[in-house]
Structure 1
Amino acid sequence: MNTNLKDFLEACEQLGTLRLIVTSSAAVLEVRGKIQKLFYAELPKGKYANMHTELFEFHLNMDLIKQVKFETGEAKRGNFTTYAVRFLDSEGEVSLSAFLQWGKPGEYEPGQVEAWQELKEKYGEVWEPAPVESLES
C-alpha cells in the first residue's frame, strides 16, 4: 500500500472519540477528542498535521512517523478490550497513541470498534506510511 500519513489521519476521523496520549520522560498528556478538521503546514522541521479544538491543539510532524501499529489490549481498570493506534518514530518509540475512548468501561460509540477494525484490515497490523510528498489535497 502506497498511502501516506496525511491520508491515514484523515481516515481516522471515522474512529470517533479518541484518547490521544503523548508521553515524555517527565510527563504524560492525555486528551479526549476527535481527529477532525485537520490542516497542514510545511515548516523547516517537517510537514505537520494540525488540529485546533476548544480544549487543545494538536501538531504532528508526519515526517518523523515511520510506522503505525494497531494494538488491542486489556484495560487496566475493568475487564474489557482496548483498541489503540500507535504512531512510532524511526527508533520504534511511540510518539503518539490514539485509543478508542469509551463512555462506561467497555462501551464504545456505535460503529467505533468496527471502524478501527476496518482501518486495521486496510492498512495491516503494522504499516509503514509512504512519505508525504505534497500537502495539497
Structure 2
Amino acid sequence: MTAGVVVLLRDPRGIAGEFTRRPAAVSVTVVVVFLGLVALYCRALQRTLAVVRPDARTVAPASVWWMFAVPFNFAEDFFIVRNVTGSLAADGRIPARAVGRWSALGYGWCGLQIVSLFPGAIGYAGGSLALPVWAAHWYLTSRLNRTLG
C-alpha cells in the first residue's frame, strides 16, 4: 500500500501538483495549519489510549504519533485506528456500538484520505469527504475521552 501512496504522492496531476501550482506562501501555510491540526488530533488519540485501562491497551499511547511518518502514515493510520479500536473494546467501558461507530468513521477517513491522493475529480471528492469524516471522528474521540475521563 505504501508504494502505491508514493506513486500517488509523486503524480504531478495529484496533490503534489496542487502545491506546486500555488504560491509558496499559500502552500506552506496550508501544510503548517494542516500538520498543526494533525498534531492536535494525535494528542486526542494519545489521550484516548492513556485513559484506557493499561491492561486493555494494545499499543503504547505515544504510538499514535506514527501518523507523521510520511509516506508510511497513509497505511499506518489504518493500524492506529485498529489499535485504538481494540484497546477501547478491551477496556469495556464504552458500549460496543459506540466503539463500532468510532471505528467505522476512523476507517472511513483513512480510506477517503487515500482516495484524496488520486488526481482530478476523484481526488477532490475524496479530500472533500475525508475532512468532515475526520472532523466527526475527532469529535467522537473527544467525547470518548470525556466519558473515559
TM-score by length of 1: 0.28
* Larger strand share, 1 or 2: 1
From the two aligned structures, give the one with the greater helix fraction. Answer: 2
Q: Whose radius of gyration is greater, 1 or 2?
A: 2
